[in-house]
Structure 1
Amino acid sequence: MRRNGHSLLEFAIAVSVFALLLAVLLDKLGFYQQRGEQVAVKALQINLRAALAGQVATLQARGREQEIAGLAGANPVQWLERPPAGYAGELSAAQAAGLAAGSWYFDPMLHQLVYVRSEQETGLNNAARNICFRVELLGMPSKIAHAETKPVQLTELELTEVNDCRTPPLSAATRR
């Protein structure tokens, strides 16, 4: 004769299977959350590089090439139409200490745009807590060969990822 209820053993097996499926789901959810964070950071990096190129092109078109070097160390967010979600403004590292994961800020002392991420390790910046970017002057060739008009100095700038967010940028004299 069969009873209408389930035994305690059947209930324990069902709960165990459910817990196992939930653990797998949560693991995958964390993975996709990290991937989403990586994609968002890379997308903003692309937008910032395009904005930097736009600033350089504008200065060149206006004949103000001598001002291009002055863009090094600037806050690249100011060139965007609107700041990224979670942008807190220009803050020192001490002021930004309490920012939530997913926030952005520009450190004017270090001339770095900083993304505050969660404690989880990802491949973006060797498991550092923050990801930092800086507008850097890469080189300044002195003259264009065979220039018929006034010689022009070309300046190459790049938005670079900073390996160590805590160190101040190197000056142009120190790098040489």
Structure 2
Amino acid sequence: MANRIGHIGADYRSRFQLALAVCLLGFAVTYLFSSLERVTAQAEQQGVRLMLNQFRSALVVKGAEAMLADEKLEPLAGLNPVQLLERPPMNWGGDCQGMDAEPGGWCFHKEKQAVVYFPRSPDARAVITGVDEAGTEPLAWRVEVDYTTSADNKSPRAVGLKLTRVKSGQINLGNHRD
């Protein structure tokens, strides 16, 4: 029996349905992977924020201890904040010099006196910094003394320790820059 004009045979119909299903599956998988990358970058951002908050909390305690003991805070500038923690983070690499940096790892650059983080991906770096910048260059923070001036404009006095982000270009770790 002959097919009518415009009639799609059962064989062609099943091929069309298969092609359509493969296309839809491809779009779904692509969407899933892009969502996974976004969620992974956000999780990394949360991990970095938690670690920085631990550093900041330890610095508040160390600064308060020093002030109660009538010690100057200036010698504590450039301190490795990991030394103040009960135990180092799981992804702690120690000294940055001569190290092959693991993505997602932390280290301390003794010469620059800065704690350094190596982002896992450019997306993660952009999410962590809040700036849409390409690259996986390391990010760095330095312990500095926090000052305030009194109402009568006398000289500034030290009131604690703070963690400050090091600007791009101030940390050079071989082939990495931040």
Per-residue deviation at 1:30? 0.5
- Aligned pairs for 1:52-67 (under 5 A) are 52-61=59-68, 63-66=69-72
1:156 aligns with 2:164: no
Deviation at residue 3 of structure 1 after TM alignment = 6.5
Kept after mapping to 1: 8 A contact 2:143/2:163: yes
| Residues 1:41 and 2:41 aligned together | no
Provide the C-alpha distance between the structure 2 equivalents of 1:25 and 1:52, rounded to a whole number of angstroms. Answer: 40
Unaligned residue ranges in structure 2 (runs of 5+):
1-8, 173-178
TM-score between both structures, scaled by the size of structure 2? 0.74
Task: Give TM-score, length-normalised by structure 1.
Answer: 0.75
**For 1:57 and 1:164, how far apart are their aligned partners in 2?**
31
Specify every segment of 5 or more residues in structure 1 that has no aligned partner in the other structure, as ranges.
Answer: 146-152, 169-176
One-letter code of the match for 1:160? T
Distance 1:108 1:165 in 2: 17
Match among 10, 16, 19 for residue 12 of structure 1: 19
- Taking the aligned partners of 1:78 and 1:165, their CA distance within structure 2 comes to 26
Residues 94-133 of structure 1 aligned to structure 2 (within 5 Å): 95-96=98-99, 98-121=100-123, 122-125=126-129, 126=131, 127=133, 129-133=137-141
- For the Cα contact (< 8 Å) 1:124–1:131, is it kept in 2? no
Kept in 2, the 8 Å contact 1:140–1:156? The answer is no
CA distance in 1, matches of 2:116, 2:94: 10
Kindly provide the amino acid, as one letter, of the partner of residue 141 in structure 2.
F
1:165 & 1:46 partners in 2: Cα distance?
24
> Hey, what does 2:39 align to over in structure 1?
32
1: CA distance between counterparts of 2:121 and 2:30?
20
What CA RMSD, in Å, does the superposition of the two structures yield over aligned residues?
A: 2.8
| Aligned AA (2:170) | R
Count of residues in correspondence between the two structures: 153
Distance 1:37 1:165 in 2: 23
**For residue 23 of structure 1, what is the amino acid of its counterpart?**
T
1:124 alignment partner, SS class: helix
- Change in 2 beyond 3 A, CA 1:133/1:165: farther
8 Å CA contact retained: 1:131, 1:165: no
